[in-house]
Structure 1
């Protein structure tokens, strides 16, 4: 199992797998109001434990659980459009304000660049969600567009906007 380390000593990221289904479901339910405040998580909130087991399967290089001393505290996920990726993340309300999302996103950025050969990451933040926008700005994302309900951010994974493999060939 791939483990991503972070700048927070107690925080690691591991691929979410079927064995995490109950913990994911419980954490989402416990954070329903917190998550729905800024985005539409109704699909995830309506997903049953069995559906989570089926979806998560054996784990993926794209979907990670944020773990504080081994306990699930959130999620960071890449959406595959290789070599570009979308990014989604959330942290349980009890763990916000500690830099965990920023550290988790940073670990996934490095993973996307170095292990997956990614060239760019895009993320969207609901307008008014200043904390989430700060997470992206701390990780050097730049705002590239503002729409009616959200702002889009972009991060090139190297100066050329190429995957690490393609950039190494130059």
Structure 2
């Protein structure tokens, strides 16, 4: 399957399929952001995975589902679609600490949601957010997600992709 590039509403910010050749770069990004990514108890397995582990995971993944978030050509995060029950998909995303607070994740998740709707015939997205991760909750709400369930460690959010709003840079 071919690699995919997704534009965002901000010049210089795009999503690119994460490929096996990105394994070492992705591992380095995770290692450099361990404290940031694990502060709510999430991502412990991903930050400790080796470059070879990431390379193997990317080799087994669909390039239409797993993307690196690139700002000015540099990998600053990832965004993933999880096809658990197509046309309904799960959503995951993460950013390096230095990339937070500038709208990057909002624009990236919006581009991924458009891609899911327009190219994969997705109808719904679901995302889980660990309790206490208020920036992630705010991002999902900006994009029209609504909380639909509460669990001991996290809340589940849902977006009907027919209601995906437009966003600007």
Give the TM-score, by structure 2 length: 0.90
* 2:70 matches 1:67: yes
Structure 1: state its 5+ residue gaps: 160-170
Aligned to 2:81: 78
1:89 counterpart SS class? strand
Q: Which sits farther off after the overlay, 88-97 or 46-55? A: 46-55
Aligned to 2:99: 95
What whole-Å deviation, never above 9, does each CA across 1:38-92 have from its counterpart, x for those lacking one? 2421211221111211111286100000001111000000111211100010000
Stretches of 4+ aligned residues off by more than 6 angstroms: none
Aligned to 1:10: 12
8 A Cα contact 1:17 1:59, kept in partner? no
Q: Matches of 1:146 and 1:25 in 2, distance apart?
A: 31
What whole-Å deviation, never above 9, does each CA across 1:13-33 have from its counterpart, x for those lacking one? 000001111110001001000
Q: Matches of 1:127 and 1:23 in 2, distance apart?
A: 29
For residue 103 of structure 1, report the CA deviation from its aligned partner: 0.4
Aligned to 2:166: none
For residue 96 of structure 1, report the CA deviation from its aligned partner: 0.4
Structure 2: state its 5+ residue gaps: 164-169
Equivalent runs, 1:28-47 vs 2, <5 Å: 28-47=30-49
CA-based RMSD of the aligned residues comes to: 1.3
How many residue pairs match? The answer is 159
Give the TM-score, by structure 1 length: 0.89
Q: Which sits farther off after the overlay, 57-66 or 68-77? A: 57-66
